[in-house]
Structure 1
């Protein structure tokens, strides 16, 4: 029996380099397709790390680009999405809105949606609370490497989006952070593709496995992964 299983295992393992290269190409190609001030009704900024109301470098880069778009277009609405993990005093959406407000964009055009513990969960809350957004043309402002996955997840939720990656991202080639974020997004694309082919329950299993691997490679991430998993299980989100 073991001899019969071996070729299958080797076949699966042989696919890993191909999947890695294919998804790397997809992420990098999409990250270069930057829209120059796309004609949209509103923009969405997915949240990421914030520290007691102060956006981290990557989040600030997204917000600064969104603020510039808002200053250039006085009619543009800016949605900032993202909830908070246990122990946080502020949500990502609240921290993001305050950052953009300080850039000079009127608060009346800033729309926080302080829910969700990951990109998909935040989109799901946004669509549930504001279904009219499905009829608008939207731009997603995020990191270049995150752009493809962020757009695919938005479309999965029924939103009509185009990519508008921030040019201020602190992760640039050939820094280590550039490679780390690329590898992270390659894993994210594996989860997205798994969900499209096999369903969200299977994708969650895949995501948990990738998080365990990331925790082994980068022990400092274990605590956040545990928080994300616990929050996701308690809220029943994928």
Structure 2
């Protein structure tokens, strides 16, 4: 009887070890991804490119939100420094909106001294992936293949990953102003969000919006 009862123990030990191993691997993957999100957020690469690409954010009747305006100011600075000869703004609109995010961004840039011929608005896409796909198509039609992406720091890694997947050779130059980078609590919240969204994208090649992880507070679309 004793020998019969003892038989399941090696199996149970194996199952326990397997579960512990899976949990440890999961923790390493999540932790490593979170570290990379934080690490890339600190990189400001101003290599010369075909275009400065501004990812869209909320706009209100054509007026950029604080998040979008911070990105646009940064993009204008890059343009003024000669990083690229063109700025491409992205982002569609929500039901009932008169303007797209891309239009609001392009209008702000031209109103603040960027020549109209240097600005292209691509008002398609309601999330990061959709916007980048539309931007890639428009850029390719003009012979643009390299881009410096402007978004919020924590969004940089996911944005760059998606941009490269849709055909860009991409670098990131994130904003360091605006509401998303003002408090440590907000920063931690967005690092956690971007970690989850990037892992989901890497597993599915789809936007995190597909499972209801909503990009909020006027942030990237």
For this structure pair, what is the TM-score category when the shorter chain's length is used for normalisation? 0.7 to 0.9
1:87-109 per-position Cα deviation (integer Å, ceiling 9, x unaligned): 22210101111121222111121
Native 8 Å contact 1:127 1:133 kept in 2 = no
Equivalence for 1:28: 38
SS of 1:158's equivalent in the other structure is: coil
User: TM-score if structure 2 supplies the norm length?
Assistant: 0.79
- Distance (whole Å) between structure 2 residues aligned to residue 25 and residue 149 of structure 1: 13
SS of 1:108's equivalent in the other structure is: helix
Equivalence for 2:146: 137
- Residues 111 and 208 of structure 1: CA distance in aligned 2, closer, same or farther (over 3 Å): closer
Equivalence for 2:28: 18
1:192, distance to aligned residue in structure 2 (A): 2.2
User: TM-score if structure 1 supplies the norm length?
Assistant: 0.74
Which structure's relative contact order is higher, taking Cα pairs within 8 Å and 6+ residues apart? 2
1:81, distance to aligned residue in structure 2 (A): 0.8
Native 8 Å contact 2:136 2:166 kept in 1 = yes
- Distance (whole Å) between structure 2 residues aligned to residue 179 and residue 189 of structure 1: 15
**Residue 175 (structure 1) aligned with residue 184 (structure 2):** yes
Aligned residues: 205
Q: Where in structure 1 are there 5+ consecutive unaligned residues?
A: 216-220, 229-238
1:5-48 per-position Cα deviation (integer Å, ceiling 9, x unaligned): x867776555443333111101111111212x321221100101
Equivalence for 2:175: 166
Q: Where in structure 2 are there 5+ consecutive unaligned residues?
A: 1-10
Native 8 Å contact 1:42 1:79 kept in 2 = yes
When Rg is computed on C-alpha atoms for both structures, the one with the higher figure is: 2
1:89-139 per-position Cα deviation (integer Å, ceiling 9, x unaligned): 210101111121222111121100000111111121223344245653221
